[in-house]
């Protein structure tokens, strides 16, 4: 695991305290530039079957790249989707 078991689901419509936002963003940043589909699915609370089906038909919430037999997700796009790249709302 990548330590994401401790990462709580982040709803972009619900403001998080600054420390929680920073921690979640930092945890995602530790994944590197890209991550595998299942790690991205866990962050987004999407099940395995649904994630692979969405990746195949192009409806996964962030762009997915197929590299051989693997699906890769750009971590920066996850951070953007979750709103962790923005300043906290007051």
The number of distinct structural domains making up the chain is: 1
For residue 61, what are the domain limits? 4-9+16-81
The residue to which tokens 């997700």 are assigned: 73
Where is 29: in which H helix or E strand? helix 18-29
pLDDT bracket for residue 2 (50, 70, 90):
very low
Determine the pLDDT at residue 31.
Answer: 78
Percentage, residues of the chain above pLDDT 70: 64
Residue 88 lies in a domain: no
Task: Determine contact, residues 75/62, Cβ cutoff 8 Å.
Answer: no
Tokens of residue 22, six digits: 């920073």
12 pLDDT tier (thresholds 50, 70, 90): low
């Amino acid at each position: 695991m990548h330590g994401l078991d401790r990462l709580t689901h982040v709803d972009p419509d619900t403001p998080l305290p600054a420390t929680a936002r920073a921690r979640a963003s930092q945890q995602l940043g530790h994944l590197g530039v890209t991550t595998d589909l299942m790690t991205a699915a866990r962050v987004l609370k999407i099940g395995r079957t649904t994630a692979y089906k969405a990746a195949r038909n192009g409806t996964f919430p962030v762009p997915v790249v197929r590299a051989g037999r693997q699906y890769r997700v750009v971590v920066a796009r996850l951070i953007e989707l979750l709103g962790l790249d923005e300043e906290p709302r007051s």
